[in-house]
Structure 1
């Protein structure tokens, strides 16, 4: 049976998934968006509409300061308890099934379908079979949102290898949530210092926007260390289990969520106003925003989520499937709306609504497949 704290983290994970879908749904309508007909991967999104709204720029920039880092943190919370319960061999097998198999399916089937509208928007009438065959070579094999899966799997593997070398590490890390709960300010300062160390060298080397890739294995170069840090932070925070006082309604996260939210909002204001032409200052405020919003949102969900309705629990269970399946619906809906003059906000609302309805429906159908026919479907999504 799920406890209220499991529900709080589960609802946080659902919120992050919905944020990802919303993020992708509005990218076509941001003022900063541009489409490169000569090289579609240099566009800011697979489809760019002529109708824009500046409010979406703020929404996208705010999301970008925290949501993927928080997804790595939440993913890390359950790693050590799961490893101790299953053992290294079974844990890795489950991770390969849960992350590796969907990644393979995404980059070979779902993402070619999702990126095909980009080719159509350029005016090049390439049949889909020809595009699909060239997708793995001359069209450069973009992985889209599936990049999160392979990098998380890599971090899981590194975590298992670390524990094989240091088998007593989980017991040692069990004191970390105690420290976070009893010395919240000191813990926040230490984490902030670690975040600067994890981000500033990479943003100096790669710049803030550059994506690195080897085939379909894409990752944003400046955030390699930041993603790993938040995953490790999640592993440490969850070392004593999700029932630890840190994740209770009277724990440090729940008690102090408002202050980091205010600090994050102030930092975000400086990020968008004062650091446009100062990349070093921009990097500093990005770390402030990242840390503040991650702490604030986690604390807010732990503080206020007690019992959720059954239908919300069903949505929480379908969140991973929505993440895997949403992108193709987003890009095709945006593409078909290109000639229609509705305005940016109605278009984005339509894309978001259609995508959520379609993705949840597809996930529910996939999970309804008889277990004996396809035994791994329910374990994957």
Structure 2
């Protein structure tokens, strides 16, 4: 609920606050591009023959927090939008900005993106599938991947849940908002509470389903990682609660106690990540059955995963707000195009990985080419698409 006030300095700060949170979203999208650029060159992957252990550490770091953090950021402005628009208009807007891009992604963008994978494993002369055949086979026989677009349908579903709760029981949303708001001057309590909350919504699902299980109803491109269903929903609704009272004066106030302590949250995050690395090392060197680690190991890994996810989410949000006046040229330049870059980047990721596959370049060189090419091409395409008014209102 950031609104322009009559006092110029407060109005400027409100505007800066919006920029800071938008920068946090842009930062996560940049991590998504880095993640997808390097995952093909990790040792646990099945992609390129050139690999580097450093990329395994990057992927493990990102995967352990960044999408949960993105769901929380996505929830921050939901209550304000519902209040301004009403539930029907809010959902119509979300359907336009999330539902339409999701449909375009699964019917057009992802088949185009995944076609090189098909070409890699079906050499010329071994099949008569051209792209039209491949596209039709994808939609009718499968597999029908959604790629990164899975985030869009899950976020849209959560928006519907939030709108329903707000319409039927607005006091529940208000109560959640005030409970979080009350922690604005108690940063340690807020931090520990979020750590505990993360463990509660993640650890039981992790122990029941593991991290390799994906729920994909009916084989349609509506996947979600089973163990993270409650984690993503919980973070999103936490974001809704944070925004339900006041973003300007609440727990994410730019000069608030939580934001001031962002270096502390970062240090704790790195300690938790170190614990994750120790458990991964133990898994590779001490667990007898690599594919079926004991319950004690799975419980310990799930615990530190949840703690790291919570601590890094605090770090990203608090750091973005505390450093809102700092000049970070790439993030500032990317901000208007960030959503569009997220939508189209996977096409360039896979095609560029396909293009450099046969070269014996070091993994770092291949990843750098893929990342630089993907960022520039998806950015350029987004800028051109945003010149179309209807598209600009969407992305």
Of 118-127 and 77-86, deviating more is 118-127
Find out whether 1:64 has 2:67 as its counterpart: no
**Kept after mapping to 1: 8 A contact 2:201/2:231:** yes
Which of residues 346, 354, 359 in structure 1 aligns to 2:365? 346
Find out whether 1:217 has 2:222 as its counterpart: yes
Which of residues 205, 223, 231 in structure 2 aligns to 1:226? 231
Find out whether 1:254 has 2:255 as its counterpart: no
**Kept after mapping to 2: 8 A contact 1:176/1:237:** no
Show the 5 A alignment for 1:80-229. 80-125=79-124, 126-214=129-217, 215-229=220-234
1:308 to 1:78, Cα distance in 2 relative to 1, 3 A: farther
Q: How far apart are residue 308 of structure 1 and its match?
A: 5.0
Q: How far apart are residue 379 of structure 1 and its match?
A: 1.5
Q: How far apart are residue 124 of structure 1 and its match?
A: 4.2
Which of residues 356, 362, 374 in structure 1 aligns to 2:375? 356
- Quote the residue 1:39 is aligned against: none
- Quote the residue 2:5 is aligned against: none
State the TM-score, normalizing by the size of structure 1.
0.91
Deviations 1:146-189 (A, max 9, x none): 00000000000011111111133443344234223122222222
Show the 5 A alignment for 1:294-373. 294-306=313-325, 308=327, 313-369=332-388, 371=389
Distance in 1 between residues matched to 2:149 and 2:15, nearest whole Å: 30
SS in 2 for 1:217: coil
Distance in 1 between residues matched to 2:301 and 2:101, nearest whole Å: 35
Distance in 2 between residues matched to 1:124 and 1:235, nearest whole Å: 49
**Kept after mapping to 1: 8 A contact 2:37/2:371:** yes
Distance in 2 between residues matched to 1:99 and 1:248, nearest whole Å: 28
**Kept after mapping to 1: 8 A contact 2:248/2:254:** no
Q: How far apart are residue 309 of structure 1 and its match?
A: 7.7
Find out whether 1:377 has 2:388 as its counterpart: no
Q: How far apart are residue 266 of structure 1 and its match?
A: 1.4
Distance in 1 between residues matched to 2:208 and 2:141, nearest whole Å: 27
Structure 2 unaligned spans of 5+: 1-11, 284-292
Of 121-130 and 14-23, deviating more is 121-130
SS in 2 for 1:107: helix
Find out whether 1:20 has 2:32 as its counterpart: yes
Q: How far apart are residue 348 of structure 1 and its match?
A: 0.4
Q: How far apart are residue 366 of structure 1 and its match?
A: 0.6
Distance in 1 between residues matched to 2:272 and 2:173, nearest whole Å: 34
Distance in 2 between residues matched to 1:249 and 1:158, nearest whole Å: 29
Which of residues 224, 229, 241 in structure 2 aligns to 1:236? 241
Deviations 1:228-252 (A, max 9, x none): 0100111111112432243333212
**Kept after mapping to 1: 8 A contact 2:29/2:342:** yes
Structure 1 unaligned spans of 5+: 35-47
**Size of the alignment, in residue pairs?**
363
Distance in 2 between residues matched to 1:173 and 1:222, nearest whole Å: 24
Of 290-299 and 176-185, deviating more is 176-185
Distance in 2 between residues matched to 1:360 and 1:263, nearest whole Å: 34
Q: How far apart are residue 199 of structure 1 and its match?
A: 0.9
Distance in 2 between residues matched to 1:177 and 1:204, nearest whole Å: 28
Show the 5 A alignment for 1:258-269. 258-269=263-274
- Quote the residue 1:37 is aligned against: none
Deviations 1:199-241 (A, max 9, x none): 1221122211221112000111110000001001111111124
Q: How far apart are residue 313 of structure 1 and its match?
A: 4.2
**Kept after mapping to 2: 8 A contact 1:177/1:239:** no
Distance in 1 between residues matched to 2:356 and 2:367, nearest whole Å: 10
Find out whether 1:53 has 2:52 as its counterpart: yes
Of 216-225 and 275-284, deviating more is 275-284
SS in 1 for 2:223: strand
Of 18-27 and 118-127, deviating more is 118-127
Deviations 1:2-26 (A, max 9, x none): 7111111111111100100110010
**Kept after mapping to 1: 8 A contact 2:37/2:367:** yes
SS in 2 for 1:181: coil
- Quote the residue 1:38 is aligned against: none
